[in-house]
Structure 1
Amino acid sequence: MKFLLVLLALVAAAYSYEFQERLNGYDRSLSSQITDYIENIRTQMPCGFPGLGLGPLSPARLSHRNIALNSSGLVLAGEIDDFTLYGLDDFDFSVKINVLLSRVTFNFHWHKVHFVTNYKMDMNTGNRINAGRNGGAKFAIEDLKIVGSAKYNIIGKVRLREFKASATIGDVNSEIENLSKIKIVNKKLNQIIEEWILLAVNENTSEMEEMANDFVVPFVNDLIGDATLVDIIAKIAGGSGGDGGNGSGGESEECIPPVVALTDAI
């Protein structure tokens, strides 16, 4: 009897080990597919995604945009011209899927994201300050890290159940001209902007997770709609990435990034 129990235990352990190995292999396979998909997106970013109506994203350019803000006694009205954003494709990442726990964990690290632009801005704070400013602006964020996880349900309706994400920043560099006509004051104001952004991001990771969950979960579930798991896998495997996002079908053309002027760098 003892021999039989031991034999059954060994058989159960063998099946359990085999089952776990199969799960681990499935996890690695799915994680690899997602990694390849993100790599394809990164490679395509300098050329954009015409099928989605998106132009080049690295660098991303905007010729003109009006800006208006009216909140708590602060009124801002102005515009930005010749806005160029660099570094969206300069990131490392890892994505891991655990099929048994229905969970995805991710880690993204942007080395440096920065922009250059020209601006005009009128500011009014009631009876205290009424000023107009204009000039050039350069702004950079270094060592931007976004980490998080997502839990999903694929039994019955495909649904995202939970999404957690938080960010940290290593350094901020602000070079906005003419915040003040006095150079030393202008430098100090830029330092205040840098310190405020660092604190606002690095000291509020739990609030970020809550905000991300409240926004992303309903948005993704609405986007999924009644799509089945097969539909979603088909899109990830090749439906939206295989043609470089141009919606033309067939083999994708090689993305040849445009030449970027060295004078644009911060």
Structure 2
Amino acid sequence: MRSSFLILCVLLCCSLGSSTLFDDDLRELTEFLRLQMQCGYPERGIPILAPAQRAFKAIDISTDSFRCEGNFTDLSVVGLDGFEFYKLKWSNIKHNIQFDMTFPRIQLNSSNYKLNILSHLLGSDVSMWGDGVFDLELINLRANGSFVIRPSTLTQGTHIKSWKVDWQLGKSNSKITGIMGKNLMVSKIFNQFIDEFFELLINDNPNEISQFMEQLIVSPMNSVLENVAWYEISAIILGLVKGILPVEPIC
């Protein structure tokens, strides 16, 4: 109790000062997280993310001009721990994290997917469906922006708000089967279209993609952050106390 009270007092004093950048502390934390992604953090509800695997994953995401619904069986996502940061800053006044990062390669695989996609992002309506093997590689996926961390209460839970992140894609490599039917030639033609479609979709529609990724990422992150107190988050970032996170990955 005394240690928690001391942390809160120190954080209050810090919050009254000028905005400060804690790049080194944040980078040390991200390197720990890179290793920990191979193990997850079960005590805080974080699954293994390197690779991320799900026996079944339902998808139902909708934005103003984009709708994607369906499911994946035996889904695997490889490469989430390969991130590279070019910018990482924290403001202890605004409780804002600014970042610029790239995932050199993300591989998405599923032994069977069923998806229906409807979009109006490229000047016309595009409707696609598929039922087959999902194999998609995203190369040089960049995320650049900021978000705010706020306490849900002072001692219980935190959450992310003001998500403002732009995404850019270098290129994609699609080998998806079962697109618009089981004809292999049709799938081959559509895979060429999908590569171009993904690049245009992500790079030319920043607002829509930001909404899509926010629904995909922020909700699961907030579910995890419900178990993390605000003073713990701040103390970790500011490097005020040791022992809140393990000093090495735990499996």
TM-score (norm 1): 0.59
- Alpha-carbon distance between aligned partners in 2 of 1:55 and 1:204, rounded to the nearest angstrom: 31
State the partner residue of 1:178: 178
State the partner residue of 1:129: none
Whichever residue aligns with residue 118 of structure 1, its letter is: S
Q: 1:133 to 1:240 in 2, by over 3 A?
A: farther
Query: Any gaps of 5 or more consecutive residues in structure 2?
Result: 1-17, 119-128
Whichever residue aligns with residue 31 of structure 1, its letter is: D
Q: Which residue of the other structure, out of 35, 41, 57, is the alignment partner of 2:33? A: 41
State the partner residue of 2:146: 149
Find the structure with the greater CA-based Rg: 1
Query: Any gaps of 5 or more consecutive residues in structure 1?
Result: 1-22, 126-131, 244-251, 257-266
Q: Which residue of the other structure, out of 72, 78, 81, is the alignment partner of 1:80? A: 72
Q: Which residue of the other structure, out of 105, 108, 111, is the alignment partner of 1:112? A: 105
The alignment's C-alpha RMSD in Å is: 4.7
The answer to whether 1:164 aligns with 2:159 is no
The answer to whether the 8 A contact 2:35-2:249 is kept is no
- Alpha-carbon distance between aligned partners in 1 of 2:242 and 2:98, rounded to the nearest angstrom: 23
TM-score (norm 2): 0.62
The answer to whether the 8 A contact 1:91-1:109 is kept is yes
3-state SS, counterpart of residue 166 of structure 1: strand
Map 1:227-242; keep pairs closer than 5 Å: 232-236=233-237, 237=239, 242=245
- Alpha-carbon distance between aligned partners in 2 of 1:133 and 1:160, rounded to the nearest angstrom: 33
Whichever residue aligns with residue 245 of structure 2, its letter is: G
- Alpha-carbon distance between aligned partners in 2 of 1:205 and 1:100, rounded to the nearest angstrom: 28
- Alpha-carbon distance between aligned partners in 2 of 1:185 and 1:44, rounded to the nearest angstrom: 41
Map 1:66-145; keep pairs closer than 5 Å: 79-93=71-85, 94-97=87-90, 104-119=97-112, 121=114, 134-145=131-142
- Alpha-carbon distance between aligned partners in 2 of 1:253 and 1:99, rounded to the nearest angstrom: 26
Cα distance, 1:78 vs. partner? 6.2
The answer to whether the 8 A contact 1:41-1:241 is kept is no
- Alpha-carbon distance between aligned partners in 2 of 1:197 and 1:167, rounded to the nearest angstrom: 12
Cα distance, 1:150 vs. partner? 4.7
Identical residues among aligned pairs (%): 24
- Alpha-carbon distance between aligned partners in 2 of 1:40 and 1:174, rounded to the nearest angstrom: 32
Q: Which has the higher helix share?
A: 1
Cα distance, 1:168 vs. partner? 0.2
Cα distance per residue 1:3-43 (max 9 Å; x no partner): xxxxxxxxxxxxxxxxxxxx79x53xx22111211211111
Cα distance, 1:174 vs. partner? 1.3
The answer to whether the 8 A contact 2:105-2:138 is kept is yes
State the partner residue of 2:46: 54
- Alpha-carbon distance between aligned partners in 2 of 1:141 and 1:232, rounded to the nearest angstrom: 31
